[in-house]
Structure 1
Amino acid sequence: MTFQAYLDTIEKKTGLAAEQFIALARDKGFLDISAKAGDIVAWLKADYGLGHGHAMALVNLFKHASGNATGRNEKIERLFSGKKEKWRSAFDRFYAHISTLGDDVGLSPTASYVSILRAGNKVAIVATTADRMDIGFKLKGEPFSDRFSDARTFNAMVTHKVSLTSPAELDQDVLDFATRAYTASAQ
């Protein structure tokens, strides 16, 4: 599901557009840099009946609206620009999936890849070329397979790697592996 699809679903469910939620969040002080994602999620669940994934989509929207995510977003935009642009929708879908797993998910982009973190612990890293999107997972003890191979030559911070040659290859197997990596990151 794309980020815009999340926002469209939220509007259908609540009758409120993204701009209206931004105004409500501003009134509650949730656009302030010190606002906690957990507090925002609790408010959206209690007052609007949103599920965790939709609430986290709005948390991300609020970060953009407040300008608190500007530097991070610029790095992400650069990682998915030019010939690598085709991978943006797959990355957004991958991150949206992980974001539904908990309110402790964050991004830490560098010049060459994006780390996806759970409470500061590595869950996955995503790197792209024009022809490939590589996703590295930190999942100690999980056996390697033809699809989820040893990642030591890719990045020392992760254990497994999957290489996608088409955005359509981001399938349920990859999302399930991400769920296991998210769960393992708490241990």
Structure 2
Amino acid sequence: MDQAAQTMMDNLQKNTGKSLDEWVSIVKKENFSKHGEILKFLKSDHGFTHGFANLVAHKTLKSDAGSASGSDELISKQYKGKEHLLPLFEKLKVEIKTFGNDIEFAPKNAYVSVRRKKQFAMLIPATKNRFDIGINLKGQEPTGMLELDTKSSGMVSHRIVVNPEEQYSKEVINWLKKAYDAAG
């Protein structure tokens, strides 16, 4: 388990008086099957912040990276039926690693979080025909390929849509580098 997740769990106990396991039990009794239902319940009925509600929801549904047997399993799951997008992911990962030696790739169920001190990008095999790159560049005006993000609930500020046929351009790498620099 990474240090950030452990700190969140410790703070959950400190702030609510209940452990993560206790909250998971409370949520399971409600028989929710969707992430959003759990978030709404914890935020409205228990005053949770988004971060704590998200943690409990992922642990309840076993949809976080820590619940998988390994990051390879999560990557395989993301690209099932979208295998033709995997070379794009691998190529982006190689390029991003050249930015510095402080980069962490953290696979989740539907995307890979790319972090420095904080998340600066998300690599998302969105559909069979589209690969999305979420980027954190708050305050940046959208221009060129860079669009404002309206889909990820604030996890990133901008999005770049890459069609597999186009692969990616120097512009994509430049935006990723700018987000990396801003996260330092």
Q: Give the TM-score range, shorter chain.
A: 0.5 to 0.7
Q: Which runs of 4+ in 1 moved over 4 A?
A: none
Q: Structure 2 CA distance, aligned partners of 1:167 and 1:81?
A: 19
Partner of 1:80: 79
CA drift at 1:145 = 2.2
Q: Structure 2 CA distance, aligned partners of 1:155 and 1:174?
A: 22
| TM-score normalised over the length of structure 2 | 0.58
Q: Structure 1 CA distance, aligned partners of 2:100 and 2:130?
A: 28
Q: Structure 2 CA distance, aligned partners of 1:172 and 1:147?
A: 11
Q: Structure 2 CA distance, aligned partners of 1:71 and 1:175?
A: 28
CA drift at 1:183 = 0.4
Structure 2 spans left out of the alignment, 5+ residues = 1-68
Q: Structure 2 CA distance, aligned partners of 1:167 and 1:76?
A: 21
Partner of 2:183: 185
Q: Which residue, out of 150, 154, 157, partners 1:156?
A: 154
Q: Which residue, out of 109, 125, 144, partners 2:107?
A: 109
What does 1:15-30 correspond to in 2, within 5 Å?
none
Where 1:140 maps in the other structure, the secondary structure is coil
Q: Structure 2 CA distance, aligned partners of 1:122 and 1:112?
A: 15
CA drift at 1:152 = 2.9
Moved more, 143-152 or 100-109: 143-152
CA drift at 1:181 = 0.5
Where 1:144 maps in the other structure, the secondary structure is coil
**Is residue 171 of structure 2 the alignment partner of residue 173 of structure 1?**
yes
Q: Structure 1 CA distance, aligned partners of 2:144 and 2:100?
A: 29
CA contact (8 A) 1:116 1:122 kept: yes
CA drift at 1:167 = 4.8
**Is residue 70 of structure 2 the alignment partner of residue 99 of structure 1?**
no
Q: Deviations over 1:45-87 (max 9, x none)?
A: xxxxxxxxxxxxxxxxxxxxxxxxx6012101211222x1111
Q: Structure 1 CA distance, aligned partners of 2:151 and 2:108?
A: 19
Supply the AA of the counterpart residue of 1:80. Answer: Y
Q: Structure 1 CA distance, aligned partners of 2:88 and 2:166?
A: 8
| TM-score normalised over the length of structure 1 | 0.58
Where 2:178 maps in the other structure, the secondary structure is helix
What does 1:137-148 correspond to in 2, within 5 Å?
137-148=135-146
The aligned length equals 116
Structure 1 spans left out of the alignment, 5+ residues = 1-69
Q: Structure 2 CA distance, aligned partners of 1:175 and 1:88?
A: 17
